[in-house]
Amino acid sequence: MPVLNIVLVEPQIPENTGNIARTCAVTGARLHLVRPLGFEVTDKHLKRAGLDYWHLLDITYYDDLADFFAKNSGPFFYFTSKGRHRHTDVTYPDGSYLVFGREDAGLPERLLFENPDHCVRMPMRKGVRCLNLSNSVAIGVYEALRQWDFADLESQGQLTKYEWK
């Protein structure tokens, strides 16, 4: 299965990170958390949002962005409302890092300025600030997985009380 990496830079809301952890667990994406975090990883809201999927996570913590970049080599795609390219118009190769910023501030503008060809956005109405972080991550993850034809993921479900014919 291709490797997909989800990077949260200084996430502030434990429920968002818990939801994102669950998305990573069910899709096999790796989760990277860049400090400082706006919560403790033992936060009950974080754990509740991630339900019982924590044992399925491949999660790595970093002290800051410099630490993250020193240990990873990309390719990086920066999800931002300031991006000039649609998230569906780029190709996500195996090993891609989808990078998301703080809920209240996004990614550092200098980072975006230095990487204009790798800044992507989801189309939104003019004048609206941005989508919720966990929704944005889910949209980005599933676009990359769609491009990979959902490799190694189940595509059909089963009923619990009935059988499909």
Report the candidate in 72, 51, 52, 53 with the shortest Cα–Cα distance to residue 61: 72
pLDDT digits (tens, 9 = 90+) for 80-134: 999 999 999 999 999 999 999 999 999 999 999 999 999 999 999 998 888 999 9
CATH topology of domain 4-147: Alpha/beta knot (3.40.1280)
124 annotated ligand-binding residue: no
Mean residue pLDDT across the chain: 92
The residues spanned by each domain of the chain are 4-147
Q: Where are the alpha helices (DSSP H) in the chain?
A: 14-27, 44-50, 65-71, 109-113, 133-147
Determine if residue 140 is labeled as part of a ligand binding site.
no
- Residue 73, pLDDT above cutoff 60: yes
pTM of the predicted protein model: 0.93
Who's near 31: CB < 8 A, 6+ residues apart? 6, 8, 20, 21, 24, 57, 58, 59, 60
* pLDDT tens track for 20-42: 999 999 999 999 999 999 887 77
Half-sphere exposure of 45 (CA within 13 A, CB side): 9
